[in-house]
Homo-oligomer: A and B are copies of this chain.
Amino acid sequence: MRPSGRQPDQLREIRITRNFTKHAEGSVLVEFGDTKVICTATVDRGVPRFLRGSGSGWVTAEYGMLPRSTNTRNDREAARGKQGGRTIEIQRLIGRSLRAALDLNKLGENTITIDCDVIQADGGTRTASITGACVALIDAINVLKKDKHGALKGNPVKYMLAAISVGIYKGEPVLDLDYAEDSSAETDMNVIMTDKGGFIEVQGTAEGAPYTQDELNKMLALADKGIKEIIALQKAALES
């Protein structure tokens, strides 16, 4: 029934490649099927003004799509002179989620900037971004741990995070929507959970008809299954 032939509860093939580029403290290529995102984590000493002297660190995120990562070319945001609303919404979500995964006090007055740049899009770029960014973030924190001057006050990583989309496609709840499904789904929900099973963020939008509590529960169950599988892949990547 799914355009890709997948089972309703089946993820696309997910690949996580660490050290994808050479300069960043953390650099991950994450692939959810044909969706490919480069996630880098950059460590800088110091924090934004509102945190100076607080002893607390900061994590922020930026997101972008290469103009031709999509089927038709999108204007380059740098050339248009501003980021679009969708971009801003997504990068706020990425930053907020990752901050929830850390104890920022233990990070010390360091800032980690996450960049998620989509080089090929086929649905689920925000969930792939969060999934890859979590691995890049941990790599960057491991660099900080080895840095005598890094000022970490213990391990700031409280949780691992992964994200997945679920939705109602042709009346049936499905896991990890690709573009063909996403563009005609009745409901589109993004779920971010920790490796302990708690929710960090749930965002569910009725694209067609309103959805019911029962549908919501079924989607959350699918998300729970998918996120467990993704977290296993993240852990395997970090151990390799």
| Interfacial residues, chain A to chain B (CB-CB below 8 A) | 21-24, 27, 34, 36, 38, 40, 42, 44, 62, 64, 66-71, 73, 76-79, 81-83, 85-89, 91-92, 96, 100, 113, 115, 117, 119-121, 159, 189, 193-194, 196-207, 209-213, 216, 220
Contacts and interface: CB of A to CB of B under 8 A. Distances in A.
Given A88-B89, A89-B88, A115-B67, A204 B202 contact: yes
A92 B85 contact: yes
A198 B210 contact: yes
A198 B211 contact: yes
A interface majority secondary structure: mixed
Given A40-B66, A68-B42, A206 B211 contact: no
A26 to B, nearest CB: 9
A220 B210 contact: no
Contacts of A216: 199, 202, 220
Contact of A120 (B23, B42, B212): B23
Nearest to A29: B119
A97 to B, nearest CB: 9
Contacts of A205: 96, 200-201
A62 B66 CA distance: 11
Most-contacted residue by chain B among A21, A189, A196, A206 (CB, 10 A): A206
B76 A23 contact: no
Given A78-B78, A92-B85, A201-B205, A44 B64 contact: no
A203 B206 contact: no
Contact of A64 (B78, B203, B211): B78
